[in-house]
Structure 1
Amino acid sequence: MAIAIYYNASMDLTAVAFSLEELMARRARLVRRAQQLPPVGARPVTVAGRVAGWVSPAVLDAIAQHPGVHVEPEAAHLMPVPAQRLGMDAVLREIAVIMRDAGQIRSWRNELLDVIAEGRVLAHIERGAVRPLGLLTHAVHLSAWAPDGRMWVARRSLDKSTDPGLWDTLSGGLVSAGEDPASALLRESHEEAGLAPVELAAHSPLRTVLRMHRRLPDGYQVETVHLSDCVLDAATAPASLDGEVMEFRCVDMGVLRDMITHGAFTLEAELCILDSLQHRLSAGQTAVLFSG
Protein backbone atom coordinates (compact mmCIF):
# COMPACT_ATOMS: atom_id res chain seq x y z
CA MET A 1 0.00 0.00 0.00
CA ALA A 2 1.36 3.40 -0.95
CA ILE A 3 1.80 5.78 1.96
CA ALA A 4 1.28 9.48 1.41
CA ILE A 5 2.24 11.81 4.23
CA TYR A 6 1.26 15.46 4.06
CA TYR A 7 2.32 18.32 6.27
CA ASN A 8 0.65 21.58 7.03
CA ALA A 9 2.83 24.61 7.68
CA SER A 10 1.07 25.24 10.99
CA MET A 11 2.05 21.82 12.31
CA ASP A 12 5.31 20.50 13.69
CA LEU A 13 7.05 18.90 10.70
CA THR A 14 7.70 15.76 12.76
CA ALA A 15 3.97 15.17 13.31
CA VAL A 16 2.51 12.14 11.64
CA ALA A 17 -1.24 11.96 11.32
CA PHE A 18 -3.70 9.43 10.09
CA SER A 19 -5.63 8.65 6.91
CA LEU A 20 -9.35 9.27 7.08
CA GLU A 21 -10.10 5.70 5.97
CA GLU A 22 -7.91 4.19 8.68
CA LEU A 23 -9.45 6.40 11.36
CA MET A 24 -12.97 5.47 10.32
CA ALA A 25 -12.15 1.76 10.30
CA ARG A 26 -10.60 1.89 13.76
CA ARG A 27 -13.51 3.92 15.08
CA ALA A 28 -15.95 1.33 13.75
CA ARG A 29 -14.12 -1.40 15.68
CA LEU A 30 -14.20 0.64 18.88
CA VAL A 31 -17.89 1.46 18.50
CA ARG A 32 -18.64 -2.26 18.46
CA ARG A 33 -16.85 -2.55 21.82
CA ALA A 34 -18.88 0.38 23.13
CA GLN A 35 -22.25 -1.18 22.30
CA GLN A 36 -23.15 -4.08 24.58
CA LEU A 37 -26.44 -5.53 25.73
CA PRO A 38 -27.45 -5.07 29.39
CA PRO A 39 -26.16 -7.61 31.93
CA VAL A 40 -27.76 -11.05 31.86
CA GLY A 41 -30.95 -11.03 33.89
CA ALA A 42 -31.18 -7.24 34.08
CA ARG A 43 -34.66 -5.72 34.03
CA PRO A 44 -35.75 -2.37 32.65
CA VAL A 45 -36.18 0.36 35.25
CA THR A 46 -38.79 3.09 35.13
CA VAL A 47 -38.55 6.28 37.17
CA ALA A 48 -41.79 8.18 37.79
CA GLY A 49 -43.38 6.15 35.01
CA ARG A 50 -40.72 6.72 32.36
CA VAL A 51 -38.22 4.16 31.05
CA ALA A 52 -34.88 5.15 32.54
CA GLY A 53 -32.37 2.30 32.98
CA TRP A 54 -31.50 -1.32 33.70
CA VAL A 55 -31.10 -3.01 37.06
CA SER A 56 -29.21 -6.24 37.76
CA PRO A 57 -30.73 -9.05 39.86
CA ALA A 58 -28.31 -8.37 42.74
CA VAL A 59 -29.17 -4.68 42.92
CA LEU A 60 -32.88 -5.41 42.59
CA ASP A 61 -32.72 -7.92 45.46
CA ALA A 62 -31.15 -5.22 47.65
CA ILE A 63 -33.80 -2.55 47.00
CA ALA A 64 -36.93 -4.59 46.21
CA GLN A 65 -38.56 -4.14 49.63
CA HIS A 66 -38.05 -0.40 49.89
CA PRO A 67 -41.10 1.89 49.65
CA GLY A 68 -41.26 3.33 46.18
CA VAL A 69 -39.92 0.19 44.51
CA HIS A 70 -42.47 -1.98 42.71
CA VAL A 71 -41.16 -5.11 41.02
CA GLU A 72 -42.96 -6.84 38.18
CA PRO A 73 -41.76 -9.77 36.07
CA GLU A 74 -40.88 -7.52 33.14
CA ALA A 75 -39.59 -4.39 34.94
CA ALA A 76 -38.80 -2.59 38.17
CA HIS A 77 -40.60 0.67 38.86
CA LEU A 78 -39.28 3.49 41.06
CA MET A 79 -41.92 6.01 42.08
CA PRO A 80 -42.78 8.60 44.72
CA VAL A 81 -44.67 7.53 47.85
CA PRO A 82 -47.00 10.42 48.70
CA ALA A 83 -48.49 8.57 51.70
CA GLN A 84 -45.04 8.58 53.33
CA ARG A 85 -44.12 12.02 52.01
CA LEU A 86 -41.36 10.53 49.91
CA GLY A 87 -40.81 12.42 46.69
CA MET A 88 -38.80 10.98 43.82
CA ASP A 89 -35.54 12.50 45.06
CA ALA A 90 -36.10 11.06 48.56
CA VAL A 91 -36.86 7.58 47.22
CA LEU A 92 -33.72 7.60 45.07
CA ARG A 93 -31.61 8.94 47.93
CA GLU A 94 -32.72 6.15 50.26
CA ILE A 95 -32.33 3.51 47.54
CA ALA A 96 -28.76 4.69 46.94
CA VAL A 97 -27.93 4.30 50.65
CA ILE A 98 -29.39 0.79 50.67
CA MET A 99 -27.33 -0.11 47.60
CA ARG A 100 -24.19 1.26 49.24
CA ASP A 101 -24.78 -0.66 52.47
CA ALA A 102 -25.40 -3.83 50.44
CA GLY A 103 -22.05 -3.45 48.66
CA GLN A 104 -23.63 -2.64 45.28
CA ILE A 105 -21.94 0.76 44.92
CA ARG A 106 -18.18 0.72 44.39
CA SER A 107 -17.52 4.40 45.03
CA TRP A 108 -19.71 6.88 46.89
CA ARG A 109 -19.01 10.34 45.45
CA ASN A 110 -21.32 12.72 47.35
CA GLU A 111 -22.15 14.19 43.95
CA LEU A 112 -25.61 14.35 42.41
CA LEU A 113 -26.43 13.63 38.77
CA ASP A 114 -29.66 14.23 36.91
CA VAL A 115 -31.95 11.24 36.40
CA ILE A 116 -32.94 11.52 32.75
CA ALA A 117 -35.65 9.48 31.07
CA GLU A 118 -37.33 9.96 27.72
CA GLY A 119 -35.58 13.31 27.33
CA ARG A 120 -36.72 14.73 30.68
CA VAL A 121 -34.94 15.35 33.97
CA LEU A 122 -37.07 13.57 36.58
CA ALA A 123 -34.99 13.71 39.75
CA HIS A 124 -31.42 13.54 41.10
CA ILE A 125 -29.34 10.69 42.47
CA GLU A 126 -25.92 9.97 43.97
CA ARG A 127 -23.38 9.52 41.19
CA GLY A 128 -22.22 6.15 42.51
CA ALA A 129 -25.74 4.72 42.08
CA VAL A 130 -26.08 5.61 38.41
CA ARG A 131 -24.37 2.63 36.81
CA PRO A 132 -25.85 0.00 39.16
CA LEU A 133 -29.23 1.27 37.95
CA GLY A 134 -28.11 1.66 34.33
CA LEU A 135 -29.18 5.31 34.21
CA LEU A 136 -28.21 7.68 31.41
CA THR A 137 -25.30 10.05 31.98
CA HIS A 138 -23.72 12.75 29.85
CA ALA A 139 -19.93 13.13 29.63
CA VAL A 140 -17.88 16.00 28.19
CA HIS A 141 -14.34 15.79 26.83
CA LEU A 142 -11.84 18.37 25.63
CA SER A 143 -9.39 17.56 22.82
CA ALA A 144 -6.67 20.19 23.20
CA TRP A 145 -4.06 20.91 20.55
CA ALA A 146 -0.84 22.87 20.61
CA PRO A 147 -0.28 25.44 17.84
CA ASP A 148 2.32 23.16 16.21
CA GLY A 149 -0.18 20.30 15.74
CA ARG A 150 0.70 18.21 18.78
CA MET A 151 -2.05 16.99 21.10
CA TRP A 152 -2.33 17.31 24.87
CA VAL A 153 -3.19 14.10 26.73
CA ALA A 154 -3.60 13.36 30.43
CA ARG A 155 -2.85 10.21 32.40
CA ARG A 156 -5.51 9.21 34.91
CA SER A 157 -4.58 8.92 38.57
CA LEU A 158 -3.90 5.45 39.92
CA ASP A 159 -6.60 6.18 42.52
CA LYS A 160 -9.37 6.40 39.90
CA SER A 161 -12.00 3.68 40.33
CA THR A 162 -12.32 3.27 36.56
CA ASP A 163 -9.37 2.84 34.18
CA PRO A 164 -6.66 3.93 36.64
CA GLY A 165 -3.37 4.84 34.98
CA LEU A 166 -4.74 4.90 31.43
CA TRP A 167 -4.45 7.96 29.23
CA ASP A 168 -7.31 10.34 28.53
CA THR A 169 -8.18 13.48 26.64
CA LEU A 170 -6.86 16.62 28.31
CA SER A 171 -9.98 16.84 30.45
CA GLY A 172 -13.30 15.08 30.76
CA GLY A 173 -16.04 14.19 33.19
CA LEU A 174 -19.74 13.84 33.83
CA VAL A 175 -22.31 16.59 33.68
CA SER A 176 -23.55 17.21 37.23
CA ALA A 177 -27.14 17.71 38.36
CA GLY A 178 -28.60 20.97 37.09
CA GLU A 179 -25.58 21.64 34.88
CA ASP A 180 -25.48 22.05 31.12
CA PRO A 181 -22.72 20.34 29.08
CA ALA A 182 -20.98 23.61 28.14
CA SER A 183 -20.67 24.61 31.80
CA ALA A 184 -19.48 21.11 32.69
CA LEU A 185 -16.73 21.38 30.07
CA LEU A 186 -15.42 24.61 31.59
CA ARG A 187 -15.62 23.20 35.13
CA GLU A 188 -13.86 19.94 34.28
CA SER A 189 -11.17 21.73 32.28
CA HIS A 190 -10.47 23.97 35.27
CA GLU A 191 -10.50 21.17 37.86
CA GLU A 192 -8.50 18.63 35.88
CA ALA A 193 -6.17 20.83 33.84
CA GLY A 194 -6.16 24.22 35.59
CA LEU A 195 -7.51 26.00 32.50
CA ALA A 196 -9.38 29.27 32.91
CA PRO A 197 -12.48 29.91 30.76
CA VAL A 198 -10.59 32.60 28.83
CA GLU A 199 -8.10 29.95 27.67
CA LEU A 200 -10.99 28.00 26.13
CA ALA A 201 -12.75 31.00 24.63
CA ALA A 202 -12.26 29.68 21.11
CA HIS A 203 -13.19 26.05 21.77
CA SER A 204 -15.50 24.44 19.24
CA PRO A 205 -19.17 23.80 20.05
CA LEU A 206 -19.74 20.48 21.78
CA ARG A 207 -20.72 17.68 19.44
CA THR A 208 -21.97 14.17 20.21
CA VAL A 209 -19.43 11.43 19.55
CA LEU A 210 -21.70 8.50 20.43
CA ARG A 211 -23.90 6.98 23.13
CA MET A 212 -22.13 4.11 24.88
CA HIS A 213 -23.75 0.99 26.31
CA ARG A 214 -21.23 -1.08 28.27
CA ARG A 215 -21.24 -3.70 30.99
CA LEU A 216 -18.74 -2.57 33.63
CA PRO A 217 -17.77 -3.88 37.08
CA ASP A 218 -19.93 -1.22 38.73
CA GLY A 219 -22.98 -1.80 36.53
CA TYR A 220 -24.26 -0.79 33.11
CA GLN A 221 -22.89 2.36 31.50
CA VAL A 222 -25.36 4.25 29.34
CA GLU A 223 -23.54 7.44 28.47
CA THR A 224 -23.68 10.10 25.79
CA VAL A 225 -20.18 11.38 25.05
CA HIS A 226 -19.79 15.01 23.97
CA LEU A 227 -16.56 16.51 22.61
CA SER A 228 -15.07 19.95 22.00
CA ASP A 229 -11.75 20.87 20.37
CA CYS A 230 -9.48 23.80 21.10
CA VAL A 231 -5.97 25.06 20.36
CA LEU A 232 -4.16 26.18 23.50
CA ASP A 233 -1.62 28.98 23.55
CA ALA A 234 1.94 27.74 23.23
CA ALA A 235 2.75 29.01 26.72
CA THR A 236 -0.08 27.10 28.39
CA ALA A 237 0.98 24.36 30.80
CA PRO A 238 -1.94 22.28 32.16
CA ALA A 239 -1.90 21.52 35.88
CA SER A 240 -4.29 19.26 37.79
CA LEU A 241 -6.17 20.95 40.61
CA ASP A 242 -8.25 17.99 41.80
CA GLY A 243 -5.61 15.25 41.81
CA GLU A 244 -7.40 13.14 39.19
CA VAL A 245 -4.53 13.49 36.68
CA MET A 246 -1.04 12.20 37.43
CA GLU A 247 0.71 13.41 34.28
CA PHE A 248 0.23 15.60 31.20
CA ARG A 249 2.01 15.23 27.89
CA CYS A 250 1.95 17.13 24.63
CA VAL A 251 2.63 14.47 21.99
CA ASP A 252 3.27 14.55 18.28
CA MET A 253 1.25 12.35 15.95
CA GLY A 254 3.88 9.63 15.85
CA VAL A 255 3.74 9.19 19.62
CA LEU A 256 -0.05 9.46 19.58
CA ARG A 257 -0.19 6.71 16.97
CA ASP A 258 1.96 4.45 19.12
CA MET A 259 -0.16 5.12 22.20
CA ILE A 260 -3.34 4.26 20.31
CA THR A 261 -1.76 1.15 18.84
CA HIS A 262 -0.76 -0.11 22.29
CA GLY A 263 -4.12 0.57 23.93
CA ALA A 264 -2.88 3.36 26.18
CA PHE A 265 -6.19 5.25 26.22
CA THR A 266 -9.56 4.63 27.80
CA LEU A 267 -12.19 3.58 25.30
CA GLU A 268 -14.02 6.91 25.59
CA ALA A 269 -10.83 8.90 25.19
CA GLU A 270 -9.70 7.01 22.11
CA LEU A 271 -13.10 7.45 20.48
CA CYS A 272 -12.89 11.19 21.18
CA ILE A 273 -9.33 11.43 19.88
CA LEU A 274 -10.23 9.57 16.69
CA ASP A 275 -13.21 11.86 16.22
CA SER A 276 -11.02 14.92 16.70
CA LEU A 277 -8.44 13.63 14.25
CA GLN A 278 -11.18 12.83 11.75
CA HIS A 279 -12.53 16.38 12.00
CA ARG A 280 -9.07 17.83 11.41
CA LEU A 281 -8.55 15.60 8.41
CA SER A 282 -11.95 16.46 7.00
CA ALA A 283 -11.09 20.13 7.39
CA GLY A 284 -7.85 19.59 5.48
CA GLN A 285 -5.65 20.40 8.45
CA THR A 286 -3.65 17.16 8.64
CA ALA A 287 -3.07 13.98 6.74
CA VAL A 288 -1.57 10.60 7.23
CA LEU A 289 -1.25 7.02 7.91
CA PHE A 290 -2.45 5.01 10.89
CA SER A 291 -1.12 1.48 10.80
CA GLY A 292 -2.50 0.07 14.07
Structure 2
Amino acid sequence: MTGFDRWLAEARQSARQPPARPRQPLVVVGHEVGSVEDGFLSQIGLQRLLDKRWQLSKNEQSWCLDVPPEAATEALNALAAALHAQGLCGPWRNEQLAVCNPAGDVIGTVERGAVRVLGIATRAVHLVGLAPDGRMWVQKRSLTKPTDPGLWDTLMGGMVPAADSLHDALARETWEEAGLHVDALADLRHGGHVDFSRPSREGGGAGYMRERIDWFRAEVPHGMEPCNQDGEVERFDLLPMTAVREQVAQGLFTLEAGLVIAAFLGL
Protein backbone atom coordinates (compact mmCIF):
# COMPACT_ATOMS: atom_id res chain seq x y z
CA MET A 1 0.00 0.00 0.00
CA THR A 2 1.39 3.42 -1.00
CA GLY A 3 1.49 6.45 1.25
CA PHE A 4 -1.38 7.95 -0.72
CA ASP A 5 -3.45 4.77 -0.32
CA ARG A 6 -2.91 4.82 3.44
CA TRP A 7 -3.84 8.49 3.60
CA LEU A 8 -6.97 7.87 1.55
CA ALA A 9 -8.19 5.03 3.76
CA GLU A 10 -7.72 7.16 6.88
CA ALA A 11 -9.24 10.24 5.22
CA ARG A 12 -12.39 8.40 4.22
CA GLN A 13 -12.78 7.13 7.76
CA SER A 14 -12.24 10.65 9.10
CA ALA A 15 -14.79 12.11 6.69
CA ARG A 16 -17.60 9.83 7.84
CA GLN A 17 -17.81 9.70 11.64
CA PRO A 18 -20.73 9.61 14.08
CA PRO A 19 -21.21 12.48 16.53
CA ALA A 20 -18.73 12.58 19.39
CA ARG A 21 -21.60 12.85 21.89
CA PRO A 22 -25.37 12.26 21.73
CA ARG A 23 -27.39 14.81 19.75
CA GLN A 24 -31.06 15.68 19.56
CA PRO A 25 -32.93 16.69 16.40
CA LEU A 26 -33.58 20.38 15.73
CA VAL A 27 -37.08 20.84 14.33
CA VAL A 28 -38.14 24.03 12.55
CA VAL A 29 -41.57 24.57 10.95
CA GLY A 30 -42.29 20.92 11.68
CA HIS A 31 -39.24 19.67 9.77
CA GLU A 32 -36.05 18.15 11.15
CA VAL A 33 -33.32 20.44 9.77
CA GLY A 34 -30.34 19.67 12.00
CA SER A 35 -29.29 18.47 15.44
CA VAL A 36 -27.77 19.83 18.63
CA GLU A 37 -25.63 18.24 21.28
CA ASP A 38 -27.47 17.33 24.48
CA GLY A 39 -27.59 20.35 26.79
CA PHE A 40 -26.04 22.69 24.24
CA LEU A 41 -28.97 25.05 23.74
CA SER A 42 -29.58 25.25 27.48
CA GLN A 43 -26.41 27.37 27.70
CA ILE A 44 -27.92 30.36 25.95
CA GLY A 45 -30.79 31.08 28.34
CA LEU A 46 -34.06 30.38 26.58
CA GLN A 47 -35.53 33.69 27.68
CA ARG A 48 -33.27 35.36 25.12
CA LEU A 49 -35.27 33.70 22.36
CA LEU A 50 -38.76 34.25 23.69
CA ASP A 51 -40.74 36.52 21.40
CA LYS A 52 -44.38 37.25 20.79
CA ARG A 53 -43.97 35.45 17.46
CA TRP A 54 -41.96 32.31 18.29
CA GLN A 55 -40.49 30.13 21.01
CA LEU A 56 -37.73 27.56 21.36
CA SER A 57 -38.95 24.54 23.29
CA LYS A 58 -37.65 21.11 24.22
CA ASN A 59 -39.42 17.78 24.53
CA GLU A 60 -38.02 14.32 25.22
CA GLN A 61 -37.03 13.73 21.60
CA SER A 62 -36.04 17.11 20.12
CA TRP A 63 -35.64 20.86 20.24
CA CYS A 64 -38.39 22.74 18.37
CA LEU A 65 -38.36 26.27 17.00
CA ASP A 66 -42.08 26.94 16.88
CA VAL A 67 -42.62 29.51 14.13
CA PRO A 68 -44.86 30.04 11.12
CA PRO A 69 -43.13 29.24 7.81
CA GLU A 70 -42.66 32.88 6.86
CA ALA A 71 -40.72 33.54 10.10
CA ALA A 72 -38.28 30.63 9.83
CA THR A 73 -35.33 32.71 8.61
CA GLU A 74 -35.81 35.43 11.21
CA ALA A 75 -36.17 32.90 14.03
CA LEU A 76 -33.17 30.84 12.92
CA ASN A 77 -31.02 33.95 12.82
CA ALA A 78 -32.27 35.03 16.26
CA LEU A 79 -31.11 31.64 17.51
CA ALA A 80 -27.76 32.09 15.75
CA ALA A 81 -27.34 35.56 17.30
CA ALA A 82 -28.05 34.21 20.78
CA LEU A 83 -25.43 31.49 20.30
CA HIS A 84 -22.96 34.05 18.95
CA ALA A 85 -23.49 36.29 21.99
CA GLN A 86 -22.45 33.39 24.23
CA GLY A 87 -19.39 32.52 22.11
CA LEU A 88 -20.97 29.25 21.01
CA CYS A 89 -20.73 29.70 17.22
CA GLY A 90 -18.09 29.21 14.60
CA PRO A 91 -16.58 32.30 12.92
CA TRP A 92 -19.31 34.84 12.12
CA ARG A 93 -19.36 35.50 8.36
CA ASN A 94 -22.48 37.62 7.72
CA GLU A 95 -23.35 35.05 5.07
CA GLN A 96 -26.65 33.21 4.82
CA LEU A 97 -26.78 29.50 4.01
CA ALA A 98 -29.87 27.55 3.02
CA VAL A 99 -31.71 25.45 5.62
CA CYS A 100 -33.51 22.51 4.03
CA ASN A 101 -36.03 19.91 5.13
CA PRO A 102 -35.26 16.19 4.60
CA ALA A 103 -36.76 16.39 1.09
CA GLY A 104 -34.28 19.11 0.13
CA ASP A 105 -36.76 21.98 0.08
CA VAL A 106 -35.44 25.28 1.41
CA ILE A 107 -37.46 26.41 4.43
CA GLY A 108 -35.24 29.32 5.45
CA THR A 109 -31.69 30.58 5.80
CA VAL A 110 -29.24 31.04 8.67
CA GLU A 111 -25.89 32.67 9.40
CA ARG A 112 -23.00 30.49 8.25
CA GLY A 113 -21.29 30.64 11.65
CA ALA A 114 -24.14 28.69 13.24
CA VAL A 115 -24.58 25.78 10.83
CA ARG A 116 -22.07 23.41 12.42
CA VAL A 117 -23.28 23.81 16.01
CA LEU A 118 -26.86 23.34 14.80
CA GLY A 119 -25.91 20.31 12.67
CA ILE A 120 -27.42 21.87 9.55
CA ALA A 121 -26.39 20.33 6.24
CA THR A 122 -24.43 22.57 3.89
CA ARG A 123 -23.23 22.51 0.29
CA ALA A 124 -19.84 23.46 -1.11
CA VAL A 125 -18.22 23.52 -4.54
CA HIS A 126 -14.64 22.80 -5.65
CA LEU A 127 -12.90 23.23 -8.97
CA VAL A 128 -10.04 20.98 -10.08
CA GLY A 129 -8.06 23.09 -12.55
CA LEU A 130 -5.64 21.47 -14.98
CA ALA A 131 -2.99 22.92 -17.28
CA PRO A 132 -2.93 21.71 -20.91
CA ASP A 133 0.07 19.50 -20.05
CA GLY A 134 -1.87 17.70 -17.29
CA ARG A 135 -0.37 19.45 -14.28
CA MET A 136 -2.77 20.64 -11.59
CA TRP A 137 -3.30 24.20 -10.35
CA VAL A 138 -3.50 24.33 -6.54
CA GLN A 139 -3.82 27.16 -4.05
CA LYS A 140 -2.22 27.75 -0.66
CA ARG A 141 -4.89 29.06 1.71
CA SER A 142 -4.27 32.40 3.37
CA LEU A 143 -2.62 32.26 6.78
CA THR A 144 -5.49 34.38 8.12
CA LYS A 145 -8.25 31.95 7.06
CA PRO A 146 -10.33 30.86 10.08
CA THR A 147 -10.21 27.21 8.97
CA ASP A 148 -7.18 25.30 7.69
CA PRO A 149 -4.91 28.36 7.28
CA GLY A 150 -1.81 27.71 5.20
CA LEU A 151 -2.92 24.32 3.89
CA TRP A 152 -3.12 23.57 0.18
CA ASP A 153 -6.42 23.34 -1.63
CA THR A 154 -7.88 22.75 -5.07
CA LEU A 155 -7.85 25.67 -7.51
CA MET A 156 -11.08 26.85 -5.90
CA GLY A 157 -13.19 25.70 -2.99
CA GLY A 158 -16.06 27.50 -1.30
CA MET A 159 -19.50 27.29 0.26
CA VAL A 160 -22.74 27.63 -1.69
CA PRO A 161 -24.63 30.59 -0.15
CA ALA A 162 -28.41 30.63 0.01
CA ALA A 163 -28.58 33.27 -2.71
CA ASP A 164 -26.60 31.17 -5.22
CA SER A 165 -27.31 28.14 -7.33
CA LEU A 166 -24.49 25.60 -7.55
CA HIS A 167 -23.32 27.07 -10.85
CA ASP A 168 -23.63 30.64 -9.53
CA ALA A 169 -21.35 29.70 -6.62
CA LEU A 170 -18.91 27.98 -8.96
CA ALA A 171 -18.64 31.09 -11.14
CA ARG A 172 -18.46 33.60 -8.29
CA GLU A 173 -15.94 31.67 -6.18
CA THR A 174 -13.75 30.92 -9.20
CA TRP A 175 -13.52 34.63 -9.92
CA GLU A 176 -13.03 35.70 -6.28
CA GLU A 177 -10.41 33.08 -5.44
CA ALA A 178 -8.66 32.60 -8.77
CA GLY A 179 -9.58 35.62 -10.93
CA LEU A 180 -10.85 33.29 -13.68
CA HIS A 181 -14.13 33.40 -15.58
CA VAL A 182 -15.59 29.91 -15.85
CA ASP A 183 -16.79 30.56 -19.40
CA ALA A 184 -13.14 31.11 -20.40
CA LEU A 185 -12.12 27.67 -19.15
CA ALA A 186 -11.98 24.63 -21.42
CA ASP A 187 -13.89 21.38 -20.96
CA LEU A 188 -15.69 22.46 -17.79
CA ARG A 189 -17.81 19.64 -16.42
CA HIS A 190 -19.24 18.26 -13.20
CA GLY A 191 -17.08 15.46 -11.83
CA GLY A 192 -19.10 14.16 -8.89
CA HIS A 193 -19.55 14.81 -5.21
CA VAL A 194 -17.97 13.94 -1.87
CA ASP A 195 -20.01 13.68 1.35
CA PHE A 196 -18.86 14.56 4.85
CA SER A 197 -20.42 13.86 8.24
CA ARG A 198 -18.05 14.31 11.15
CA PRO A 199 -17.66 16.10 14.50
CA SER A 200 -16.63 19.75 14.34
CA ARG A 201 -14.58 21.83 16.79
CA GLU A 202 -17.02 24.74 16.55
CA GLY A 203 -19.01 25.65 19.63
CA GLY A 204 -16.33 24.25 21.89
CA GLY A 205 -16.47 20.90 20.13
CA ALA A 206 -20.28 20.71 20.05
CA GLY A 207 -20.56 21.02 16.27
CA TYR A 208 -21.34 18.40 13.67
CA MET A 209 -20.42 18.87 10.00
CA ARG A 210 -22.79 17.55 7.34
CA GLU A 211 -21.72 18.67 3.91
CA ARG A 212 -21.94 17.70 0.24
CA ILE A 213 -19.11 18.96 -1.94
CA ASP A 214 -19.88 19.03 -5.65
CA TRP A 215 -16.67 19.17 -7.67
CA PHE A 216 -16.01 20.28 -11.21
CA ARG A 217 -13.00 19.91 -13.47
CA ALA A 218 -11.75 22.21 -16.20
CA GLU A 219 -8.65 23.07 -18.19
CA VAL A 220 -7.05 26.46 -17.65
CA PRO A 221 -5.92 27.46 -21.18
CA HIS A 222 -2.27 28.09 -21.96
CA GLY A 223 -1.24 31.66 -21.07
CA MET A 224 -3.99 32.04 -18.46
CA GLU A 225 -2.98 31.97 -14.78
CA PRO A 226 -5.02 32.26 -11.59
CA CYS A 227 -4.78 35.51 -9.62
CA ASN A 228 -6.53 35.87 -6.27
CA GLN A 229 -9.06 38.69 -5.91
CA ASP A 230 -10.35 38.45 -2.33
CA GLY A 231 -7.21 38.08 -0.19
CA GLU A 232 -8.04 34.52 0.88
CA VAL A 233 -5.25 32.81 -1.09
CA GLU A 234 -1.55 33.02 -0.24
CA ARG A 235 -0.38 31.83 -3.66
CA PHE A 236 -1.00 29.39 -6.50
CA ASP A 237 1.24 26.63 -7.75
CA LEU A 238 1.25 24.31 -10.74
CA LEU A 239 2.21 20.77 -9.76
CA PRO A 240 2.70 17.49 -11.60
CA MET A 241 0.26 14.84 -10.45
CA THR A 242 2.97 12.86 -8.66
CA ALA A 243 3.77 15.88 -6.49
CA VAL A 244 0.07 16.45 -5.78
CA ARG A 245 -0.32 12.86 -4.59
CA GLU A 246 2.81 13.09 -2.42
CA GLN A 247 1.71 16.33 -0.76
CA VAL A 248 -1.82 15.08 -0.16
CA ALA A 249 -0.36 11.95 1.49
CA GLN A 250 1.82 14.18 3.69
CA GLY A 251 -1.25 16.00 5.03
CA LEU A 252 -0.37 19.28 3.34
CA PHE A 253 -3.82 19.60 1.73
CA THR A 254 -7.16 20.08 3.46
CA LEU A 255 -9.12 16.88 4.02
CA GLU A 256 -11.85 18.16 1.68
CA ALA A 257 -9.41 18.98 -1.13
CA GLY A 258 -7.58 15.69 -0.72
CA LEU A 259 -10.78 13.67 -1.09
CA VAL A 260 -11.90 15.74 -4.09
CA ILE A 261 -8.49 15.09 -5.72
CA ALA A 262 -8.84 11.37 -4.96
CA ALA A 263 -12.26 11.38 -6.62
CA PHE A 264 -10.79 13.20 -9.62
CA LEU A 265 -8.12 10.47 -9.85
CA GLY A 266 -10.88 7.87 -9.90
CA LEU A 267 -9.98 6.42 -6.51
In structure 2, list runs of 5 or more residues that go unmatched: none
Partner amino acid, structure 2, of 1:177: A
Partner amino acid, structure 1, of 2:79: I
Q: How far apart are the structure 2 equivalents of 1:188 and 1:109? A: 15
Q: How far apart are the structure 2 equivalents of 1:275 and 1:177? A: 26
Q: Is the contact made by 2:186 and 2:220 (CA closer than 8 Å) also made in structure 1?
A: no
1:166 matched residue in structure 2: 151
Q: C-alpha displacement at 1:38, in angstroms?
A: 1.9
Deviations 1:199-218 (A, max 9, x none): 23531125222x20111111
73, 80, 85: which one aligns with 1:96: 80
Higher RCO (CA 8 Å, separation ≥ 6 residues): 1
Deviations 1:11-36 (A, max 9, x none): xxxxxxx9xxx977754432211011
Partner amino acid, structure 2, of 1:109: R
State yes or no: 1:105 paired with 2:93.
Answer: no
- When normalised by structure 2's length, the TM-score is 0.89
Q: C-alpha displacement at 1:42, in angstroms?
A: 2.1
1:124 matched residue in structure 2: 109
Alpha carbons of structure 1 residues 39 and 54: separation in structure 2 relative to 1, 3 Å: farther
- SS of the counterpart of 1:278? coil
In structure 1, list runs of 5 or more residues that go unmatched: 2-17, 280-292
- SS of the counterpart of 1:46? strand
Q: How far apart are the structure 1 equivalents of 2:117 and 2:231? A: 25
Q: How far apart are the structure 2 equivalents of 1:107 and 1:233? A: 36
State yes or no: 1:262 paired with 2:247.
Answer: no
State yes or no: 1:212 paired with 2:196.
Answer: yes
Q: How far apart are the structure 2 equivalents of 1:177 and 1:245? A: 23
Q: How far apart are the structure 2 equivalents of 1:63 and 1:197? A: 47
Looking at secondary structure, tell me which structure has more strand per residue: 2
State yes or no: 1:196 paired with 2:181.
Answer: yes
2:27 matched residue in structure 1: 46
Q: How far apart are the structure 2 equivalents of 1:237 and 1:101? A: 42
- SS of the counterpart of 2:261? helix
2:15 matched residue in structure 1: 34
1:184 matched residue in structure 2: 169
Q: How far apart are the structure 2 equivalents of 1:63 and 1:275? A: 44
Aligned-residue identity in percent: 38
RMSD (Å), alpha carbons: 2.2
Partner amino acid, structure 2, of 1:72: N
Partner amino acid, structure 1, of 2:12: V
- When normalised by structure 1's length, the TM-score is 0.82
Q: Is the contact made by 1:59 and 1:99 (CA closer than 8 Å) also made in structure 2?
A: no
How many equivalent residue pairs? 256
Q: How far apart are the structure 1 equivalents of 2:45 and 2:115? A: 14
